[in-house]
Amino acid sequence: MKKLSNCVPGFAHGTTGGKGGEFYVVTDPIDNATDPKPRTLLHADLIVTSDKTINARVANMEICNGAGITVQFVKNVIIHHNIPTKGGKIKDGENHHGLRGASDGDGVSLFRDTNISFDHLSHHHCADGLIDAIQGSTVATVSNCHFTDHNDVMLFRASDSYSADKKMQDIVGLNHFGKGLVERMLRCRFGFIHVINNDYNHWFLYAIGGTSHPTNISQGNRYLCETPSGLRR
């Protein structure tokens, strides 16, 4: 698993994840959000700290029927191979727990993070976005993922007034956007986005959109839409 850090493509190349840490295997479903026992699961959104790799290649793992994954104020995270929930006290560091607000139902939420890699994920049927990266989150790569059955797929930068996002740079590449998708594949503000070698098979409103003067480079993508021609963009 630690070799995954050698495979990160795009701007996030060099992201180390948990390469220098211990293996952590969940073996017990008992939950205590403020003082979790080692190797247990959480009912609320999973707070990911810096220098971590989440690897699901060895099992058919689903994160479902609860909050998704929250990555905030951290760096060097690799996530490899939802619905709104109530907030509460959740441990978000080795020596700290705090009161979390209610989850809005994002599959994965990034907030002021750097060097993040999403690879070989399948996302569908979340309550809000499948992937949201906001408030200065940068150097992110979304690659080799499969997206289906969702309205707002991917949002990079959420505010027209947060001008610090102008320096952000991300890559979306080698992904399959499949049946049941409506829009935001992706939707971005500011920054630089390289959209490369993706397969866009279905959308209802639009595939790629942007406001607040982003630089979107679309290269080597396939666009094949079955919706009425008046709705294609």
Backbone angle region of 94, left / alpha / beta, with phi > 0 → left and psi within -120 to 50 → alpha: alpha
Spatial contact of 154 and 135, defined as CB atoms under 8 Å apart: no
Answer for the pair 144, 119: CB distance below 8 angstroms, yes or no: yes
Q: Which residues are catalytic?
A: 184
Question: What is the gyration radius of the CA atoms in the chain, in angstroms?
Answer: 17
Q: Which two tokens stand for residue 214?
A: 């982003």
CA distance 13 to 8: 5
Distances (CA, A) of 208 to 120, 143, 153, 161, 169: 21, 16, 10, 21, 16
- DSSP per position, 175-209: -EE-TTEEE-SSEEESSEEEEES-EE---SS-S-E
Closest CA to 198 of 211, 209, 208, 188: 208
* C-alpha dihedral sign at 75, 169, 6, 122: positive
